[in-house]
Each structure stands twice: as C-alpha cells, then as structure tokens.
C-alpha cells in the first residue's frame, strides 16, 4: 500500500514538473529579447507557482574576457526584505504570468539590491576561482549543501551574495556552456533535494537554448542595422532613428539638429590609391565621427562617402561648433598624407539643418541639411554650412 502511495506521489510530482516546464517553455517563447528571456527564467525559478526558490541568480560567460559575469538576480537580499515581498505576494495572489508581466517594473526598480550586486560580479574562469567558475569549466552542477562543501566557495562571492547553502547549474546549448544558475533557500531554509537538482538541470537545458536563440536573434537584428564597412548604423536604421527623434522633439518641444557630412575628393583618392585605401579612409573617418559624438547622438553611413549625425536636444549653433570640431579633426588626420596631391587630400564638408527652426518634418530636415551640405561643397569644400530659409536648392543643376 505504501509502495503504491509513493508511486502515486512520484507520478504526481513528475506530472507537475513536466507541466511546469511546458508552461515555462511557452513563456520563454513569447519574446526573443535577451533581457526579457533572462527575467522569465529567474521568475520561473523564484515564483511560488514556479519552482519556488528564495533567490535565483544568473551568470553568463564572456568569452572575450574569459570571465563569468553576473547579469541578473531576482529575490530578496535580507530576511526583512523577504518578509515584505512574500507578504505582498500572498496578499495579491500573483501567478507566474503576473510575475512575468511585471518585467518593466523590475527593470526600473532602484531597490533591487540583489540584482545590483549580481550585476557587479565578474569571476575569472579558472579552477581556483570557486564553485561558479568550476560549474562552467566542468559543465556540471554543484550542490553546496554541507559545511564541508562550503569550503570550496570563494569567500568574497559568498559575502557579496550573502548566501549560505546553494546549488549551481550550468546552462548549455549544443554542448557549449553559456552560463550558470545559482539558487538558494537562504530565508525559509527549505532543503534543496536531489529531485530539485534534477528538475533544475532540465530547466537549465531549456534556459540555455532560449538564451542561445535570443542571442542569435539579437545578433541578426544588429547586423541588419549596421553598415558592414564602417560599423555605423546603415541608411535604414538612420531613417528609423530620425523618425523617432523628430516625434520625440515634437512632444518635448526641443531642438533636433541633423548634420550631413560628405568626404571631399574621395573619388580622386579612391581612383589614385585604390579601393582598399578608400575603404580604410571611410573607416577612419567613421571612427572620428563616432568618437567625437555624444552617446545620445546617432551616427550613420547615409550612403557612399556621405554620413549623417542625428543630434537630439541640440541647437543649430551647438551643432555648428560640433561640426567644426569634426571638420578640423578629419583635416588634421590627412594633412601629412604625402601619397596624394595637397589640393586633393581628404577633408569633409558639412551641412546642418535644425528642427523646428528649419523644418517641420523628417523629410524636410533631411532635404534642408542636404541643401546646406551641397552649398558647402559648391562654395569651396572643407567647410560647414548652415541651412537658411530661402537657400537655393542647386542640387538639381
């Protein structure tokens, strides 16, 4: 009779596990954005409708630096914080879907202390760097559930995470370890069983595939937005950003300047020195434009040897000062070039138009900055020209 009862309980547990994995897999498939995928993974580990661990932390491998980086942590950091959170959960009867839907609130939450701590962790991938590093290097779970096992834990990481007994699980995709999960029950002290570790391992395999798919998607989106030669935004992405910034400037009643830049003498330079040198020049000039721009500016290759810089919240005069810095920097970069006639050395000409002073729409802003650029080219090159009302459109001549 007892054997039959135990078998029934085991079947019920397995049914619940597979049902939960199915729900979590469906939830993960609702988005391909990496940060949202990570949030769903950790929510499923900590919500009372999910696996119900007190805390869950996620670390991803940074192959370039050879380190394991903390990227997200969900759960309380202290017992008092835990009490408040669990009380709020029990009062509001939150489901797993409710937790997942609260991603935007979590992202903006300044009080998420655990998340801040986790994001500050970087662990070199060496065998002497503790359990998390070993989880990646060995590609296997570690159960830190005894005092003896705790001796293997890096003391600095243990203090930072304020953890006691925990489990780490590798996340894999196509036999490659992408990262690790760390879960604990530091507040309710519920033991983490062998069955829990088995469930976590199955869950981590789903999570690893979801992360890999998300990364491939984000890489595809990135590549579709980038000019292959200069690594600046391409024409399509420029149009998207400019539409967005014009609408935002309308709402905020703020200025928006557009700087168009064209490389002077580029055809002669390309024909004389060859396409490889021409490509190098475009890359170097793109690097100057990107390096001198602010983080909020959008730098794009508009086409050929023409570039565009979207400058939110920038007056025409400030855009002019910026453009002159760019012009001087490019001129200085090629001033000592002995491979080309001095009169044919590379410089840039720039045209500027500003919303709403010069234009009411995105298309007008592009057209007017382009007219100003043409005027700079027509009047001698290597100069900056500001659009003025009534400026002739000589581009058709």
Dihedral sign, Cα of residue 188, residue 190, residue 192, residue 195: negative
**296 token code pair:** 């909020």
Measure CA 45 to chain center. 23
What are the distances in angstroms from CA 143 to CA 14, 124, 248, 370? 22, 21, 51, 64
- What are the residues facing 354 on neighbouring strands? 257
Q: Buried (b) or exposed (e) across 352-386, using 16+ Cβ within 10 A?
A: bbbbbbbbeebebbbbbbbbbbbbbbeeeebbbbb
Active site residue 305: yes
For 84, phi and psi rounded to 5 degrees?
-65, -45
What are the distances in angstroms from CA 240 to CA 33, 59, 289, 298, 370? 19, 33, 20, 11, 18
Catalytic residue among 245, 305, 306, 375: 305
Strands (E), 185-326: 256-264, 298-303, 306-312
* Spatial contact of 74 and 58, defined as CB atoms under 8 Å apart: no
Query: Annotated active-site positions, please?
Result: 305
């Amino acid at each position: 009779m007892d054997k039959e009862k135990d078998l029934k309980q085991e079947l019920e547990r397995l049914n619940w596990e597979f049902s939960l994995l199915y729900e979590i897999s469906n939830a993960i498939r609702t988005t391909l954005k990496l940060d949202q995928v990570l949030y769903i993974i950790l929510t499923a580990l900590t919500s009372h409708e999910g696996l119900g661990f007190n805390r869950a932390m996620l670390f991803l491998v940074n192959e370039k630096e050879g380190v394991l980086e903390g990227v997200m942590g969900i759960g309380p950091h202290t017992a008092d914080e835990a009490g408040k959170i669990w009380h709020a959960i029990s009062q509001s009867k939150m489901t797993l879907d409710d937790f997942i839907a609260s991603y935007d609130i979590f992202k903006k939450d300044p009080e998420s202390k655990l998340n801040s701590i986790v994001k500050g962790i970087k662990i070199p991938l060496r065998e002497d760097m503790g359990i998390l590093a070993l989880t990646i290097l060995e590609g296997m779970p570690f159960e830190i559930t005894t005092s003896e096992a705790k001796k293997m834990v890096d003391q600095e990481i243990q203090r930072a995470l304020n953890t006691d007994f925990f489990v780490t699980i590798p996340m894999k995709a196509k036999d490659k370890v992408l990262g690790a999960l760390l879960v604990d029950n530091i507040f309710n002290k519920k033991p983490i069983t062998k069955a829990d570790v088995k469930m976590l391992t199955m869950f981590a395999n789903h999570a690893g595939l979801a992360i890999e798919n998300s990364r491939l998607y984000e890489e595809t989106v990135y590549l579709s937005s980038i000019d292959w030669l200069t690594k600046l935004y391409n024409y399509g992405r420029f149009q998207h950003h400019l539409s967005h910034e014009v609408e935002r400037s309308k709402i905020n009643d703020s200025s928006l300047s557009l700087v168009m830049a064209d490389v002077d003498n580029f055809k002669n330079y390309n024909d004389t020195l060859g396409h490889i040198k021409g490509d190098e020049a475009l890359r170097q000039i793109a690097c100057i434009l990107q390096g001198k721009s602010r983080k909020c500016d959008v730098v794009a290759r508009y086409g050929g040897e023409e570039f565009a810089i979207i400058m939110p919240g920038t007056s025409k005069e400030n855009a002019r000062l910026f453009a002159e810095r760019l012009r001087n920097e490019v001129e200085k970069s090629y001033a000592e070039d002995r491979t080309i006639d001095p009169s044919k050395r590379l410089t840039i000409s720039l045209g500027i138009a500003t919303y709403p002073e010069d234009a009411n729409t995105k298309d007008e802003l592009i057209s007017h900055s382009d007219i100003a650029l043409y005027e700079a080219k027509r009047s001698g090159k290597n100069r900056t020209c500001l659009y003025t009302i009534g400026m002739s459109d000589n581009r058709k001549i």
